[in-house]
Chain A
Amino acid sequence: MQTSSHHWQAWLKPAFSRLNTADWLTLFLLVIFGWLASQVVSVINPESTVVAKFFPLFLSGAVVAGYCYRLSPKQDQVSLVAPSTAWLTITKATGLTVLLIGLPLVVLMSAQSTSNGLAWLRVLSTLLMVLSLTTIGTLGSQLLKRWGIPLLLVALWWLLFGSNHIVENLVQAMLLNNLGTQLIVLMVAVGLVGVTASLVELTKPWQRQIEQFNFTKTWSFVRPMPSFTGMGSLLIVSLLRVIRDKVFLIYLGSFTALLLSRILMSDWPVNWLVIIGVGLAGLSVLVVSRLVKFSNSFSLQYAHLPIGPGQIEFVGFFAGLILIAAISWIILWGLFGVTAEIMVRLLLAILSSYGAGFLVSLSAKKVEHSGFFDSTWHLVGQMLLFTLVFICSLQLPLSGASFSLLATMLLVIVTTCYQVTRTWVTIKS
Chain B
Amino acid sequence: MLKVQDLVAKSTRERLEGLSFKVEPGEVLAILGSGDCGKHLLGQVIAGTHKPLHGEISINRYRLGTGSDKARIQLGYLPNPAPNEDFLTGYELLDLIGSIYHLAPTARAERIQFLIDLLEIGPSVYSVLETASADVRQKVALACAVIHSPKLVILDEPTQMLDFNGPRIVGELVRSLTESSSSVVLITDNLEFAQDLADHFLVLANGQKLIEGTMAQLLNQSHPHTRTLRGVLEAVGR
Contact = CB atoms under 8 A, between A and B. Distances in A.
B155 to A, nearest CB: 12
16 contacts: A76-B126, A77-B126, A77-B127, A212-B95, A219-B100, A221-B69, A222-B69, A244-B87, A298-B85, A301-B84, A301-B85, A302-B83, A304-B48, A304-B72, A305-B97, A306-B73
A304 B75 contact: yes
Contacts of A77: 89, 123-124, 126-127
B92 interface: yes
Contacts of A303: 47-49
A79 interface: yes
Contacts, number: 57
Contacts of A221: 69
Interface in B60-108: 68-69, 72-73, 75, 77, 79, 83-85, 87-89, 92, 95-97, 99-101
A215 B48 contact: no
Interface residues on A, range: 20 to 34
Nearest to B125: A77
Contacts of A219: 100
B118 interface: no
A178 interface: no
B96 A306 contact: no
A76 B73 CA distance: 32
Contacts of A76: 126-127
B127 A305 contact: no
Interface string A77-104: 1110000000000000000000000000
B92 A306 contact: no
Most chain B CB atoms below 10 A, which of A244, A298, A302: A302
B132 to A, nearest CB: 9
A389 to B, nearest CB: 32
A185 B97 CA distance: 45
A216 B83 contact: no
Contacts of A222: 68-69
Interface string A219-252: 1011000000000000000000100100000000
A385 interface: no
Closest 10 CB pairs of A and B: A301-B83, A77-B126, A304-B47, A303-B49, A216-B99, A306-B72, A304-B77, A77-B127, A306-B69, A78-B127
A298 B127 CA distance: 20
B19 interface: no
Contact of A307 (B88, B100, B131): B100
Contacts of A298: 85
A208 B87 CA distance: 9
Contacts of A302: 83, 97
Given A78-B131, A301-B83, A306-B69, 11 more contacts: A76-B127, A77-B123, A78-B89, A208-B88, A208-B92, A216-B100, A222-B68, A301-B79, A303-B49, A305-B100, A306-B68
Contacts of B96: 212, 215-216
Interface of B: 47-49, 68-69, 72-73, 75, 77, 79, 83-85, 87-89, 92, 95-97, 99-101, 123-124, 126-128, 131
B42 to A, nearest CB: 14
Most chain A CB atoms below 10 A, which of B49, B85, B100, B127: B100
A304 B128 CA distance: 23
Nearest to B69: A306
A304 B75 CA distance: 8
A406 to B, nearest CB: 39
Contacts of B85: 298, 301
A361 B77 CA distance: 31
Most chain A CB atoms below 10 A, which of B83, B88, B97, B123: B83
Contacts of B124: 77
Interface in A225-283: 241, 244
A287 B71 CA distance: 35
B90 to A, nearest CB: 9
Given A222-B69, A304-B47, A212 B79 contact: no
Contacts of B69: 221-222, 306
A304 B79 contact: yes
Contacts of B84: 301
Contacts of B88: 208
B80 to A, nearest CB: 12
Contacts of B47: 303-304
A244 B128 CA distance: 13
Nearest to B96: A212
Contacts of A244: 87
B100 A212 contact: no
B49 A79 contact: no
Contacts of B95: 212
B92 to A, nearest CB: 6
Nearest to A216: B99
A208 B72 CA distance: 26
Interface in A301-348: 301-307
A397 to B, nearest CB: 46
B108 to A, nearest CB: 11
Nearest to A77: B126
